[in-house]
Amino acid sequence: MTALELSSPVAVVGTGTMGQGIAQVALVAGHPVRLHDAVAGRARAAAEAIGARLDRLVEKGRLDAAERDAARARLKPADGLAELADCALVVEAVLERLDVKQQLFRELEEIVAEDCLLATNTSSLSVTAVGGALRHPGRFVGLHFFNPAPLLPLVEVVSGFATDVTSATRAYETARAWGKKPVACADTPGFIVNRIARPFYAEAFAVHEAQAADPATVDAVLRECGGFRMGAFELTDLIGQDVNESVTHSVWQSFFQDVRFTPSLAQRRLVESGRLGRKAGRGWYDYSDDAERPGPHTADKEPPPAHVVAEGGLGPAAGLLTLIREAGIQVREEDEVDGTRLVLPSGGRLVLADGRTSAESRDVVHFDLALDYRTATRIALSASENTSPQTLAEATGLFQALGKDVSVIGDVPGLIVARTVARIIDLAHDAAAKGVATEEDIDTAMRLGVNYPLGPFEWDRRLGRAFARAVLDAMHERDPSGRYAPSLALYRHAYAIDKREGTS
Ligand SMILES: NC(=O)c1ccc[n+]([C@@H]2O[C@H](COP(=O)([O-])OP(=O)(O)OC[C@H]3O[C@@H](n4cnc5c(N)ncnc54)[C@H](O)[C@@H]3O)[C@@H](O)[C@H]2O)c1
């Protein structure tokens, strides 16, 4: 099954933010495009707005003037649905309401040909439910574009229960022919990206709610240590707290209030008080002209320890040993011990975040997981009342000697990056095992849809398959609400490896 012919007209119904973007993509790809909106005059205004965007592309040298003129000539507003009768594909981007979308498709089915592909751009409704009103639901798919559609390459091609393989394939190939990167996905709450990304926000908010770190510190650690493009607080301010919360809420509700997706009380309060983010001038941060953006908490300078003893290797943090030696600090390695840690001159231990609190052991400092310890510019440390000031000072001085800023946060298990990445990996395994998408498509979706530095499966391979399960097991033991319970899929995955290594 191939992509739609470029000569086939494509219709976009609902010409707001997403409709305009999708129409521009289909138009620039070469299709004749019809625009329709329920509000009189909006389709015409959308055509003008798209034309103006094409002008800017010409000015920037990304489109030549002749192509722009041809594209403009192919773009037509339609006053009524009847004008869409000869379209080969209709993409709907109207109000996010099931009854409105179902009614629209019922009307469309009376007008278009039997082989016309019908698609919804819904981000939170079930594709199966939207298509449920159709007499021929086999030709109905989800085509979930991301905003801004002309710029972001990812499109989730969602198959509802009744979607034909041929229709899904045709939609997939058409998105590809439009220069997009489609991923195939089953109809589940949040599809791929909005499902697997939830912990990125939830864990940051949870660390803050636990009083362990303020937003600026969490954001800095996610960026400078975790390798994420933006921190969760600044990103949700950009997205809009109301928009981000409504996605979380909808995924949580759709999963019958599964505790793994529970929304954040702190975010609820922000929304209730109208602190919706940048668009409101205030969210987690203050965006008024005279407001000063708070910086992360950064520890004062401490002298580096003269030597450390590395016991049992450091697992995913093993690369640190080279960096420590390069910084002129003596490292003695001892393999035949139980567990992995760095022993400092004080006798205190520095342990990679493992899902336990620092308070549980005498004189322990935990350090966070970094995407890459060499390039990370900041590291989070957590200590407790059972940690001696000398041990915390030596741990701080050690990372500072490696050129890192140090943020000392409260004693939360899994610190900031480790808990976030472990949960993302877990949800990715859970989704793949339940047939939501392939591992490869999940990695692609998370890299392109939310700019993660690595896909969850790539991250998992890099960390070693036991890492996420161990962190979550320990966190689940400390918080048995179910929020951190590792999925069956993660257990199976880790067990298979343990068996191969002969350790179980
Ligand atoms: N905004 C995003 O970031 C984003 C991303 C992905 C998907 N989506 C989804 O795309 C859809 C549209 O979102 P948006 O942000 O573009 O909304 P929007 O409010 O900017 O535009 C919606 C448009 O649909 C029109 N409309 C409403 N009911 C209609 C009907 N029955 N027939 C024809 N037109 C109708 C409205 O007049 C409006 O112009 C929603 O389903 C949303 O969940 C949005």
pLDDT at position 293:
92
Q: Is 49 in the pocket of ligand 1 (CB under 6 A)?
A: no
Measured from the CA of 145, which atom of ligand 1 is nearest? 6
CA of 96 to the centre of ligand 1 (A): 6
Please list the ranges in the chain whose pLDDT falls under 70: 1, 336-338, 497-504
What is the pLDDT at residue 133?
84
Q: How far is the CA of 247 from the centre of ligand 1 (A)?
A: 15
Give me ligand 1 centre to Cα 19, in Å. 7
pLDDT at 494: 85
Residue 254 annotated among the catalytic residues of the structure: no
Any idea where the domains of the chain sit in the sequence?
10-187, 198-280, 307-409, 417-500
Question: What is the second-level CATH architecture of the domain 307-409?
Answer: 3-Layer(aba) Sandwich (3.40)
Are residues 157 and 143 in contact, defined by beta-carbon separation less than 8 angstroms?
A: yes
Peptide bond before residue 413 is cis, with ω within 30 degrees of 0: no
Q: What class does CATH assign to 198-280?
A: mainly alpha
Tell me whether domains 198-280 and 417-500 share a fold: yes
CATH 3.40.50.720 fits 10-187, yes or no: yes
With contact defined as beta carbons under 8 Å apart, do 36 and 77 qualify?
yes
- 320 in contact with ligand 1, CB cutoff 6 A: no
* Any ligand 1 atom below 6 A from CB of 13: yes
Task: Give every CB contact of residue 149 below 8 A, 6+ residues apart in sequence.
Answer: 18, 21, 22, 24, 25
Q: Give me the catalytic one of 123, 264, 382, 487.
A: 123
Q: Which residues pair with 75 in a beta bridge?
A: 33
Region label for 187, one of left (φ > 0), alpha (ψ between -120 and 50) or beta (otherwise): beta
Please name the CATH architecture into which domain 417-500 falls. Orthogonal Bundle (1.10)
Of 69, 43, 47, which is closest to residue 57 (Cα–Cα)? 69
Ligand 1, atom 21, residue with closest C-alpha: 16
Q: What is the pLDDT of residue 82?
A: 97
| CA-based nearest residue to 363, from 389, 341, 339 | 389
Q: Which ligand 1 atom minimizes the distance to the CA of 20?
A: 16
Query: Which helix or strand (DSSP H or E) is residue 92 part of?
Result: strand 89-92
